[in-house]
Amino acid sequence: MSKGIKEIPKLTVDALLTENRVFKPSAEFTKQANVKNDSLHKKAAKDRLAFWAECAEKLDWFKPWDKVLEWKVPFSKWFVGGKLNASFNCLDRHIKAGLGNKTAIFWEGEPAGEQKIISYDEAYKQVNKLANVFKSLGIKKGDRVAIYMPMIPEAAYAMLACSRIGAIHTVVFGGFSADALRERMNDAQAKLLITADGGYRRGKVLPLKDIADEAVAGAPTIKHVLVVKRAKNNITMHEKRDLWYHELMGKAKDFCEPEHMDAEDVLFILYTSGTTGKPKGIIHTTGGYLTGVTNTMQWVFDLKSKDVFWCTADVGWVTGHSYFVYGPMANAATQVMYEGTPDFPERNRFWKIIEKYKVTIFYTAPTAIRAFMKWGTKWVEDCKLTSLRLLGSVGEPINPEAWIWYHLNIGKQKCPIVDTWWQTETGCILIAPLPGITATKPGSATKPLPGIETVVLDDDGKEIKEGGGILAIKSPWPSMLRGIWRDPERYKKTYWSRWPNTYFPGDGAKKDEDGYLWLLGRVDDIMLVAGHNISTMEVESALVDNPIVAESAVVGITDELKGQAIAAFVILKEGNNPSEESQNILKAHVVKKIGAIARPEKIIFTPELPKTRSGKIMRRLLRDIAEGRALGDVTTLADASVVESLKSKYEDKEG
Ligand code: ATP
Ligand code: MG
């Protein structure tokens, strides 16, 4: 990102694509909604700090705070002097309220027939025991614990057990390589690693412990590796260093006193996905973070006690932290946790899970939705999705056509869709519809949530009331990052050096005549074509608008005449063949949707796109390919063979 700042074009962004469809909330939905009117917005507008204080009161505090906010730009402290514990808020208080029997997690393993139903009582017991195990291994308040796990309940227990004793967790996605794991453990100086022998992914066992061994060999701060037996694959246990989870849990006591944490004590460090460059260790603290996730869970997802919530994100991403572990559990939600991929054993696995557990709220990413579009509706048709009442999207801008597909085929035209914009850095959702009151427009994350003050600015910091520019946040919010681990300078430079006193998230946005926000993708990806700043998002959405296209990624390539020309990488829906004719059709389609300025110079058909392990398109690698450069940092890439084959295909054509 710090590298990216220099590359940002010095202009506003041209907003070219228009989308006129509007979906109003049904009277029926509004009637039952948690947020039925604009009273939250009014409260927040009247007195923002009093509003956030009221939000924080939904948590259980051991000691109330003395001051809501201390703001010394760019460092904020929220609920100063308050004491609380995250695991207490996610477990103990629900048990005290008589919810011990309530299902916390319906866990579904990837192999057929594997499931576990875990109550709040059970989760409480496991977390307490594990907290005692951590203590027995010498882990104390403030120590860092790395978590490298498959999607099994023990991953959530590990996070909550850390928070119970005040240890700082850093979860590393279970699909990352040994290098990526080692780099993160070393940066965080973690003392303990908790992992599993293996986990299931698309029918195969991913040998996590072997990868962890390779990583730990170069991570001198790690004293112990705690290993959950999951896949029963063969592993090597290193004497003294490695310990079996079940053996220590078998001996551990059932209760561990929750540590009274300061509101500003660090809850976790999480490294960003690494879409734009070297991952940053984002720091979140306890009181403000929990306030953000607990409230947005109620507002945006309209969560009720009877709901079955399913967020498909892995615990390794911020979405898994905020909307699988902390947000839902602080609200005593019942949730689904699924270990594997959506296409195993068949491409209808997600829909089968929704049918089986009667999921009511489903939250996934555009990358998944575009894969479903590519596979076709036949996989959805024979599954009963009638339990669904609300759908969500996160991770990338959602193309309007993908939104409509989701609305028709999954929501069956009756479920509101919440397109939620946020980042690892923001901790919780900041821009999203409130499903009972906000009319949605496909592709727009709509408006900021109450208490969040966003603006669209040009490069000089001048506000753009209507049109394209750069998204900015004018004032601090409780769940904002508190810094980058061991790198305060990078924190200042990355987020606070662009405009005075204003947070720079790094995304382009346009504001329409109704004040709706349309996220235009990363500022670093914006193309400068013949004097126009064109967002990758708009050209991609115009391509996806054509019925033969499932997904696309566009990049700007150097062009002598125009400065940059547009190269589009396109994945066709199954049953369509790449041809020169379809290239011409697609070029003409973009011209029709947006205008001649956005006509792609080149269209390259491909079966796959380079994506991060969190499923986001890595356009910077496509730029490297298109410009014949050596590939940049590829450590967070999901499948290296995709870029290699694209590269040779591209070079063949050029050559
Ligand atoms: P890195 O910062 O390391 O490059 P990353 O930005 O992909 O990685 P995350 O914090 O997981 O890491 O992703 C946040 C980004 O994802 C946002 O800044 C935005 O670009 C994109 N994003 C997330 N949700 C949405 C959404 N609903 N609409 C548009 N963009 C979104
Ligand atoms: Mg980012």
Question: Which ligand lies nearest the alpha carbon of 540?
Answer: 1
Find the length of the chain. Answer: 655
- Counting other chains too, the contacts that 64-73 makes at CB distance below 8 Å and 24 or more residues apart are 65/263, 65/287, 69/476, 71/476, 73/496, 73/501
Q: Amino acid identity, residue 72?
A: K
Q: Taking phi first (over 0 means left), then psi (-120 to 50 degrees means alpha), and beta for anything else, what does residue 427 get?
A: left
Where do the domains of the chain lie?
22-496, 528-654
Q: Give 542-601 pLDDT, tens digit per residue.
A: 999 999 999 999 999 988 888 899 999 999 999 998 999 999 999 999 999 988 989 999
Query: Would you state the pLDDT for residue 595?
Result: 87
How many angstroms separate the alpha carbon of residue 395 from the centre of ligand 1? 5
Of 3, 422, 444, the one to substitute when testing ligand 1's pocket (max ligand atoms within 8 A of C-beta) is 422
pLDDT higher than threshold 50 for residue 10: no
Domains 22-496 and 528-654 share a fold: no
pLDDT higher than threshold 90 for residue 650: no
Please check whether the domain covering 22-496 is classified as CATH 3.20.20.140. no
Q: Is 392 in the pocket of ligand 1 (CB under 6 A)?
A: no
Cα–Cα distance measured from residue 40 to residue 27, given in angstroms and rounded to the nearest whole number: 19
Strand positions, DSSP E, 394-536: 417-419, 454-457, 467-473, 483-484, 507-511, 517-522, 527-529, 532-534
Q: Is 396 in the pocket of ligand 1 (CB under 6 A)?
A: yes
**Closest atom of ligand 1 relative to the 521 alpha carbon:** 20
Say which residue, 16 or 513, is predicted with more confidence.
513
Answer yes or no: are the C-beta atoms of 328 and 297 closer than 8 Å.
Answer: yes
Answer yes or no: are the C-beta atoms of 567 and 626 closer than 8 Å.
Answer: yes
Of 5, 268, 269, 275, the one to substitute when testing ligand 1's pocket (max ligand atoms within 8 A of C-beta) is 275
Average pLDDT along the chain? 94
Structure tokens at 366: 């555009």
Q: Give 414-453 pLDDT, tens digit per residue.
A: 999 999 999 999 999 999 999 999 999 999 999 999 999 9
Q: Whose CA is nearest to atom 29 of ligand 1?
A: 397
The DSSP code sequence of 392-425 is EE-SSPPPHHHHHHIIIIISTTTS-EEE-B--TT
Cα–Cα distance measured from residue 379 to residue 342, given in angstroms and rounded to the nearest whole number: 11
Strand positions, DSSP E, 312-366: 334-338, 361-364
Q: Is 569 in the pocket of ligand 1 (CB under 6 A)?
A: no
What is the average pLDDT across 152-156? 98
DSSP state of 596: G
Query: Which 3 state secondary structure label does DSSP give 244?
Result: strand
| Side-chain-side CA neighbours of residue 233 (13 Å) | 16
How many angstroms separate the alpha carbon of residue 275 from the centre of ligand 2? 7
Query: Would you state the pLDDT for residue 654?
Result: 57
Query: Would you state the pLDDT for residue 12?
Result: 65
Q: Give 121-133 pLDDT, tens digit per residue.
A: 999 999 999 999 9
Answer yes or no: are the C-beta atoms of 625 and 646 closer than 8 Å.
Answer: yes
**Closest atom of ligand 1 relative to the 317 alpha carbon:** 11
Rounded percentage of the chain residues whose pLDDT exceeds 90 = 85
| Side-chain-side CA neighbours of residue 563 (13 Å) | 11
pLDDT tier for residue 278 given thresholds of 50, 70 and 90: confident
Q: Give 352-401 pLDDT, tens digit per residue.
A: 999 999 999 999 999 999 999 999 999 999 899 999 999 999 999 999 99
Cα–Cα distance measured from residue 135 to residue 141, given in angstroms and rounded to the nearest whole number: 10
Angle between helices 120-136 and 153-165 in degrees, nearest 10: 60
Q: Give 516-554 pLDDT, tens digit per residue.
A: 999 999 998 889 888 888 999 999 999 999 999 999 999
Query: Would you state the pLDDT for residue 655?
Result: 44
For strand 334-338 and strand 527-529, is the pairing parallel, antiparallel, or unpaired? unpaired
Of 1, 510, 616, 635, the one to substitute when testing ligand 1's pocket (max ligand atoms within 8 A of C-beta) is 616
How many angstroms separate the alpha carbon of residue 552 from the centre of ligand 1? 17
Say which residue, 360 or 7, is predicted with more confidence.
360
Cα–Cα distance measured from residue 319 to residue 204, given in angstroms and rounded to the nearest whole number: 25
Comparing 252-266, 359-373, 478-492, 634-648, the range with the smallest average pLDDT is 634-648
Q: Give 41-69 pLDDT, tens digit per residue.
A: 999 999 999 999 999 999 999 999 999 99
Cα–Cα distance measured from residue 269 to residue 168, given in angstroms and rounded to the nearest whole number: 7
**Closest atom of ligand 1 relative to the 271 alpha carbon:** 3
* C-alpha distance from residue 208 to each of 149, 192, 231, 240, 315 (Å): 7, 15, 10, 19, 15
Query: Would you state the pLDDT for residue 201?
Result: 94
pLDDT higher than threshold 70 for residue 249: yes
Q: Is 421 in the pocket of ligand 1 (CB under 6 A)?
A: yes
Residues in CB range of 212: below 8 A, 6 or more apart:
148, 178, 181, 193, 195, 225
Q: Taking phi first (over 0 means left), then psi (-120 to 50 degrees means alpha), and beta for anything else, what does residue 83 get?
A: beta
What is the average pLDDT across 295-323? 98
Cα–Cα distance measured from residue 288 to residue 301, given in angstroms and rounded to the nearest whole number: 19
pLDDT tier for residue 625 given thresholds of 50, 70 and 90: confident
pLDDT higher than threshold 50 for residue 5: no
Q: Is 276 in the pocket of ligand 1 (CB under 6 A)?
A: yes
Q: Amino acid identity, residue 288?
A: G
Answer yes or no: are the C-beta atoms of 106 and 337 closer than 8 Å.
Answer: yes
Q: Is 279 in the pocket of ligand 1 (CB under 6 A)?
A: yes
For strand 115-119 and strand 83-84, is the pairing parallel, antiparallel, or unpaired? unpaired
pTM confidence score: 0.94
* Number of Cβ within a 10 Å radius of residue 313: 22
Homologous superfamily, domain 528-654: ANL, C-terminal domain (3.30.300.30)
Cα–Cα distance measured from residue 93 to residue 96, given in angstroms and rounded to the nearest whole number: 5
